[in-house]
């Protein structure tokens, strides 16, 4: 068993440990967190080795720390400040004191929307931390429905496991989405796509299903090849596996876009195919996703976020399972970058089967939320 060092903030307390015996790991985590009877909420993530014991771990932590509302789920990888656990039995947990905030755990989108409406007209929009079940068909509809039904902003990720799944929202949850809705909490959020845009934005002028035929009124492959040449790429093999297509989000004031795989090219017919149906009038751009691009974009996001919350109290980080050591080269590198930029901020999270930001599902992204003192966040 490994006893990790404790990081405790005035309002956020963090614990994490690895052990093949969930009781031993939970005991170490509880000792690190300490007694927190006044805390309104805790976040708990376990690797899939311990997934069958998620509820037992939450019950143990509630008795040992006094924190009664634990929200969380399972990940093949989980993380804490500067630390990642992959393919080993481990627990990360963080207790949170959120004075002045209303905290409402929910086990489904319907439950959250009903709770929001019961509070009556004139209340501010909500902020919600959401855990999704990738096995449930309703997930794709429930994410935007939850955001719009609560006038809210969502952050979170989809559970990942090679065995048992599980979610907690104050108690075991079975819905396509679950989590905790808040009003009155001061947060700043950021999204890292891990990409480097190549060239500008193009208009799709002809498409058939997922095949792009024309861009800007010209053969799609001509524009594609020219864009790569302008970026200094003369051989597609130089970008094997790292070249993607990005679809800018209509109406976004932050330059947001959805990344999709480039699934095939046909130079003879001057077309290429992407991992989503495209229609004439869509906007499209090309981008590169590799270790260098991912680290550059992560640091950009972190610096931007810290400028909006200079002294964060605690945070949550949700990253894609395809990032982590697969993208950054070694276990711990991604969270080391976060620590380099933010310092020893109490932080927990996990590596999921997809990420949630605002009202959309993403892939290959990192979503970070910082809880901040309202006096320190610019208006």
**Tens of pLDDT, residues 313-326:** 999 999 999 999 99
CA 154 to chain centre: 10
Q: What is the pLDDT of residue 248?
A: 86
Per-residue pLDDT, averaged over 114-142, amounts to: 89
Q: Mean pLDDT score of the chain, rounded to an integer? A: 90
pLDDT of residue 234 exceeding 50: yes
Query: Is residue 142 located within the same domain as residue 52?
Result: yes
Query: Is residue 161 located within the same domain as residue 296?
Result: yes
Residue 290 CA: distances (Å) to CA of 164, 223, 294:
31, 22, 6
Q: What is the pLDDT of residue 196?
A: 85
Cβ neighbors of 192 (< 8 A, separation 6 or more) are 294, 297, 298, 300, 301, 302, 365, 366, 367, 368
pLDDT of residue 141 exceeding 90: yes
Query: Is residue 175 located within the same domain as residue 232?
Result: no
pLDDT of residue 375 exceeding 70: no
150/305 Cα distance (integer angstroms):
24
Strand partners, 41: 96
Q: Is 122 left (phi over 0), alpha (psi -120 to 50) or beta?
A: left
Query: pLDDT tier at 379 (50, 70, 90 boundaries)?
Result: very low
Domain that holds residue 280: 196-288
Per-residue pLDDT, averaged over 172-192, amounts to: 93
Query: pLDDT tier at 166 (50, 70, 90 boundaries)?
Result: very high
pLDDT of residue 21 exceeding 90: yes
Count of Cβ atoms closer than 10 Å to residue 21 Cβ = 12
113/143 Cα distance (integer angstroms):
12
Q: What is the pLDDT of residue 378?
A: 46
pLDDT of residue 203 exceeding 50: yes
Query: Is residue 112 located within the same domain as residue 206?
Result: no
Query: Is residue 204 located within the same domain as residue 172?
Result: no
Query: Is residue 33 located within the same domain as residue 132?
Result: yes
Query: Is residue 210 located within the same domain as residue 322?
Result: no
Q: What is the pLDDT of residue 25?
A: 98
Q: What is the pLDDT of residue 8?
A: 53
Structure tokens at 209: 């299903």
Query: Is residue 119 located within the same domain as residue 189?
Result: yes
Query: Is residue 161 located within the same domain as residue 298?
Result: yes
pLDDT of residue 6 exceeding 60: no
For the chain, what is the domain count?
2
pLDDT of residue 254 exceeding 80: no
Query: Is residue 181 located within the same domain as residue 207?
Result: no
Query: Is residue 159 located within the same domain as residue 148?
Result: yes
Mean pLDDT check: name the lowest of 55-69, 169-183, 197-211, 236-250: 236-250
Residue 333 CA: distances (Å) to CA of 38, 223, 267, 353:
34, 36, 38, 19
């Amino acid at each position: 068993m490994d006893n990790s060092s404790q990081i405790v903030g005035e309002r956020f307390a963090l614990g994490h440990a690895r052990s093949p015996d969930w009781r031993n790991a939970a005991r170490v985590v509880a000792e690190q967190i300490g007694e927190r009877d006044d805390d309104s909420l805790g976040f708990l993530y376990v690797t899939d080795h311990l997934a069958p014991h998620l509820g037992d771990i939450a019950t143990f932590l509630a008795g040992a720390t006094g924190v009664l509302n634990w929200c969380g789920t399972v990940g093949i990888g989980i993380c804490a400040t500067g630390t990642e656990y992959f393919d080993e039995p481990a627990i990360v947990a963080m207790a949170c004191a959120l004075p002045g905030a209303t905290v409402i755990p929910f086990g489904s989108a319907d439950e959250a929307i009903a709770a929001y409406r019961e509070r009556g007209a004139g209340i501010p929009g909500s902020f919600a931390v959401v855990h999704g079940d990738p096995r449930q068909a309703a997930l794709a509809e429930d994410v935007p429905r939850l955001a719009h039904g609560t006038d809210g902003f969502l952050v979170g990720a989809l559970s990942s496991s090679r065995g048992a799944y599980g979610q907690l929202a104050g108690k075991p949850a079975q819905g396509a989405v679950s989590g905790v809705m808040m009003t009155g909490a001061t947060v700043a959020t950021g999204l890292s796509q891990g990409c480097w845009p190549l060239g500008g934005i193009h208009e799709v002028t002809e498409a058939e299903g997922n095949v792009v035929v024309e861009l800007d009124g010209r053969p799609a492959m001509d524009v594609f090849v020219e864009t790569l040449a302008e970026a200094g790429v003369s051989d597609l093999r130089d970008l094997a596996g790292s070249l993607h297509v990005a679809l800018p989000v209509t109406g976004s004031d932050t330059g947001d876009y959805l990344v999709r795989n480039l699934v095939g090219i046909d130079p003879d017919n001057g077309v290429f195919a992407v991992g989503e149906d495209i229609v004439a009038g869509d906007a499209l751009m090309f981008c590169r996703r590799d270790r260098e691009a991912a680290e550059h974009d992560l640091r950009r996001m972190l610096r931007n976020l810290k400028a909006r919350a200079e002294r964060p109290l605690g945070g949550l980080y949700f990253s894609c399972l395809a990032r982590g050591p697969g993208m950054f080269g070694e276990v711990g590198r991604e969270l080391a970058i976060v620590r380099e930029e933010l310092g020893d901020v109490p932080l927990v999270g996990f590596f999921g089967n997809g990420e949630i930001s605002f009202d959309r599902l993403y892939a290959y992204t990192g979503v970070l939320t910082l809880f901040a003192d309202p006096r320190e966040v610019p208006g």
